[in-house]
Chain A
């Protein structure tokens, strides 16, 4: 595999390769198609064979995400925050693994890869803190001109298809997943096509972070092939096009119009490495606002004084 993990000549021991698998519904299946594709580092050296997901894998992932939506969106914001923070804790413990995977995938020095992984861990912490605050920032009571109590609250939109950024295989990935699930959505994520391994390994972290199965589903393969059925899927509520090029983004946005998915177009990312502090737009893109009216009645003609 890599020079860091495979040194039989020094230790006399042959390392064990990991079989990279999808993460769907809390389980680790291979692609139902039985296909894999070769993943290499930027120099062209073989890293692993990743599952080449099919349209059927995409549909299965949507079923899993939908099934998980009720409980996840119904969990308290505090509970979701605890779980996102647990993801950060688990990642911190597997930091070295991700530094190696990111360095290999993106051809980065160890220190640059480490900075990416550290920023990704901190990003989970940042979004863990948002779960129970976003409603206080984008919701609130409305002073309508009448005897009514009127309250607007954000709610998650549902199942979100996420095309992870192609270049930033881990920090970019975390930066698009965490805001989607922080607010109670569930996600079907298409990993970076050429660097899917950190995303597939993230599945292993999520599976051990008290995150219910199906909240995040990770697929690897050809982005265009997997994204097309997701964009057209009538049980997907929104799509994040971060990992789509201009042509693909337009095609998917057209397909997404069939059930009026909420579409987050590819955003110009200031630092291509996603290290800039995020705002709240990646959360609000996948929130609905629900406004509840209720009459306040009156206490009778005499009124009361205090």
Chain B
């Protein structure tokens, strides 16, 4: 299909349908949340958090340093004794309260998350927030059932958990970290990402509403140095990190030789494999979900499309047609499919990798797409004629960029899919059930979606093989990371 044809099918005009901002009240400044109180940083440092879609400053947030992290760990340690000694059924009820309050305040939190992160309101409203509440609800139920979880008759918590989370799903990653930690009787110090601290600070207020004892949850917004201080703190018993593979390796080195339990959920370069018998329209939707959900800033994104040669042209035509209908713009608009990139830094990284893709000889295509004048934006992009040697087929881009490769046989598809140091996710599209299972058996990845993509559920374990990290979050398996087993 040519660009002209793509244009012809693109143009449905939509009237703006913005979600109201009035549902959320963002204060001009926020403190660290330590021992149940909001406090300034010891050295008085603050940083600004901006809306990636407008570059408007949303708030000024206290910036945790080493002294603040130390104070937070002490608070968590102090709270650990009583918290871990509570009957599981009482811990459960705190978590159920939190789940219910998140449900009640979900519209407010969805708008907040969209403002601070830049992702479409459609996603925060329909994916992030329902999953956050469900995650707390699910782990609430485990708190008084740990003896049934398969980790022994009376599994014990580890102590203080130091948790560092990324900016792509700020509140969801907080839920993945905090819910299982508290259910199992640990206390936590959590560092949100510097570009998206606000939803974690609103969560602190939810802890207050739920009557959670002081010090059980401590939130220390800050930069990498605060995360490093937390991970290295000698009184932390458990480290959980979600983020880049490079930082994950650094953390693994930091905790070497200690007794700290470590789980890492890192990068990915997921293969989305489309066989010639796949239902093309359904596959196209899955490919779009796989790489353009959350602007591709997803560790399990299907960033490599492996398509069987015989259907390559047909699939690419359909995919380009579909991409031409995606609406990029105001993340608060309920029609918006593609929001803003989270930060200038991330935009620069995506831009540089895409340019490298072109320079190395891959063929670049984007639908006609007007980018807003302010904020951080990147048009949905796909590359064809990509080989396995290309940088864009090897490096995690963490943006709305799809690299298309081809294969002829299932064996070749498997070999190419596994030809990466990562192993987080993969997709398989075929009408043949036995082929799904045979291919899934051979893939070295922690989550395999067949005839669907980017599905998440609190009951379902998530995590990687190889350099995508280790440990699982979610499900019964997710308890293990926080138990002394």
Contact = CB atoms under 8 A, between A and B. Distances in A.
B141 A300 contact: no
Interface stretch (A132-140, A212-220, A221-229): A132-140
Contacts of B458: 78, 132
Given A125-B89, A130-B145, A295-B434, 4 more contacts: A82-B137, A304-B442, A306-B415, A306-B442
Contact of B141 (A129, A302, A305): A129
Given A125-B93, A294-B434, A132 B439 contact: no
A126 interface: yes
Contacts of B435: 297
Contact of B418 (A149, A295, A298, A306): A306
A129 B145 contact: yes
A137 B476 contact: yes
B142 to A, nearest CB: 7
Contacts of B96: 85, 125, 128
B137 A78 contact: yes
Contacts of A296: 434, 437-438, 441
Contacts of A77: 459
A250 B18 CA distance: 66
B310 interface: no
Given A299-B414, A305-B415, A130 B434 contact: no
Interface in B275-312: none
A295 B148 contact: no
Interface residues of A, number: 31
B437 A132 contact: no
B26 to A, nearest CB: 30
B140 interface: yes
A78 B145 contact: no
B409 interface: yes
B415 A299 contact: no
Nearest to B466: A306
Nearest to B134: A78
Nearest to B148: A137
A77 B457 CA distance: 12
A136 B89 contact: no
B444 A299 contact: no
The 5 closest A-B pairs by CB, nearest first: A129-B141, A297-B434, A296-B437, A297-B438, A306-B418
B433 A294 contact: yes
Contacts of B81: none
A133 B409 contact: no
Contacts of B150: 137
B415 A304 contact: yes
B410 interface: yes
A77 B459 CA distance: 10
B482 to A, nearest CB: 16
B266 to A, nearest CB: 19
Interface in B309-350: none
Nearest to B417: A306
Interface string B127-144: 000000010011011111
A81 interface: yes
A143 interface: no
8 contacts: A78-B458, A122-B89, A125-B93, A126-B144, A280-B148, A295-B434, A303-B411, A304-B415
Nearest to B138: A132
Contacts of B397: none
A104 B144 CA distance: 31
B421 interface: no
Main secondary structure of the interface of B (DSSP, over half): helix
A130 B411 contact: no
A126 B89 CA distance: 7
Given A295-B437, A306-B442, A129 B144 contact: yes
Contacts of A81: 137, 141
Interface string A122-166: 100110111111001100000000010100000000000000000
The range of chain B's interface size is: 35 or more
Interface of A: 77-78, 81-82, 85, 122, 125-126, 128-133, 136-137, 147, 149, 280, 294-300, 302-306
B471 interface: no
Contacts of A305: 415
Nearest to A128: B141
Given A129-B142, A299-B414, A300-B411, A136 B475 contact: yes
B141 A133 contact: yes
A302 B415 CA distance: 12
A129 B433 contact: no
Nearest to B460: A136
A82 B140 CA distance: 12
Contacts of A130: 141, 145
Contacts of A306: 414-415, 418, 442, 444
A133 B96 CA distance: 15
Contacts of B79: none
Contacts of A294: 433-434, 437
Best-surrounded residue of B92, B134, B148, B458 (most CB of chain A within 10 A): B148
Given A304-B411, A306-B415, A136 B438 contact: no
A129 B92 contact: yes
B476 A299 contact: no
Nearest to A147: B438
A133 B144 CA distance: 12
Nearest to A148: B437
B437 A133 contact: no
Given A78-B137, A136-B475, A300 B444 contact: no
A130 B138 CA distance: 9
Contacts of A149: 437
A129 B433 CA distance: 33
Nearest to A136: B476
B260 to A, nearest CB: 27
A133 B459 CA distance: 8
Contact of B442 (A136, A137, A299): A299
Contacts of A125: 89, 92-93, 96
A280 B144 CA distance: 13
Contacts of B100: 85
B434 A133 contact: no
Interface centre among A296, A300, A305 (most CB of B within 10 A): A296
Interface in B404-452: 409-411, 414-415, 418, 432-435, 437-439, 441-442, 444
Contacts of B432: 297
B410 A300 contact: yes
A111 to B, nearest CB: 20
A172 B101 CA distance: 30
Contacts of A122: 89, 93
A22 to B, nearest CB: 31
A295 B436 CA distance: 10
A280 B433 CA distance: 34
